[in-house]
Copies of this chain bind each other. A is one copy, B any other.
């Protein structure tokens, strides 16, 4: 196998690999259309723009494509699968999820003998790194993020990572493979880590939990509930112990029980290894569809009905140090049919503000939302309540 052509934004940038023997293309779409290539490897990124045009061009020309582009597959997977299969060429994307840790292959091939019911884990290394550093260095989100950006661990525009969208792309892909459908990114419920304060990390720890950005997908009736959000995980749980930039994933199946997979989620080495594994699959002559069914039989993964799911929650409030405050909060919860499991009040801060945290028993999403809305209107509550789920993982 030989690299015959290369395209990148900056030709003169120093590289670890000598690409001078390959033909240079300023335009990746021209490379994708070149008759000199047998396979097109796309590492540009972005759901639209040149990445999409180049991949479409290569597939339309009957060339197999290997990509690390999670946004592209999550948003346009169904259409690209149809194009690839109409041309009879593979479209492979192992590097799109968990870097060199072969989660895509595991779900696409290794577990097809089972009915997967749930996948849940940590899929964004940047968020995991930031949350781990906040805890280790006792520093607030903004400071850790700025430092991660300075060290190159976070993008200049961090929205895709810290807003949960990158993990959303990845869980959309894994959910599609787990539940025999096409990725449906628009149906992923996404909440990022930017509202996790240092005090939440401390209070969660006191309660026996660690806050992680959890991506999960569960079968619910005919559809699936697919989400990304900060959640509380018991301290002794493997997901709580996956620190730094690690990615980790649980897969649950009717026959296999629970499988746990952990590894570095990104980086040049792991990505290159995943791309190379896809190239090896190409040479082995695999003829699988792009997702679990042929594109013609593939529906977008249906979103489960919302509001009916039952969950336990962590609710953290900043309240005025005044008589009757707690009564008004507990009253709001009781009126919403949310019952309290534990309650923790911390000493008043210098400003006179009192941090209060409570955990609830299982309550419907609707009830929790209503409780949050009532509490937020209380004039003794000083900030928007932080409501995070206690993950049942």
Contact = CB atoms under 8 A, between A and B. Distances in A.
A106 B113 contact: no
Contact of A112 (B262, B280, B286): B280
Contact of A256 (B105, B106, B273, B286): B273
A110 B102 contact: yes
Nearest to A256: B100
A239 to B, nearest CB: 12
Interface string A247-264: 000000111111111111
Main secondary structure of the interface of A (DSSP, over half): mixed
A181 B134 CA distance: 46
A194 interface: no
A64 to B, nearest CB: 15
Interface residues of A, number: 45
A48 interface: no
A238 interface: yes
Please state the number of chain copies in the assembly: 2
Interface string A223-260: 00000000000001010010000000000011111111
A241 B281 CA distance: 34
A255 B102 CA distance: 13
A110 B114 contact: no
Contacts of A258: 263-264
A272 B113 contact: yes
A93 B258 CA distance: 21
Interface in A134-169: none
30 contacts: A94-B110, A99-B256, A100-B256, A101-B256, A102-B106, A106-B110, A109-B280, A109-B284, A111-B277, A113-B272, A113-B273, A113-B278, A114-B273, A238-B238, A238-B262, A253-B273, A255-B270, A255-B272, A255-B273, A256-B270, A257-B263, A257-B264, A259-B263, A260-B261, A260-B263, A261-B262, A284-B286, A284-B287, A284-B288, A285-B285
List the 7 closest pairs (A to B, CB-CB), nearest first. Answer: A113-B276, A102-B110, A100-B256, A255-B269, A113-B273, A259-B263, A260-B262
Interface of A: 94, 99-102, 105-106, 109-114, 236, 238, 241, 253-264, 269-270, 272-281, 284-288
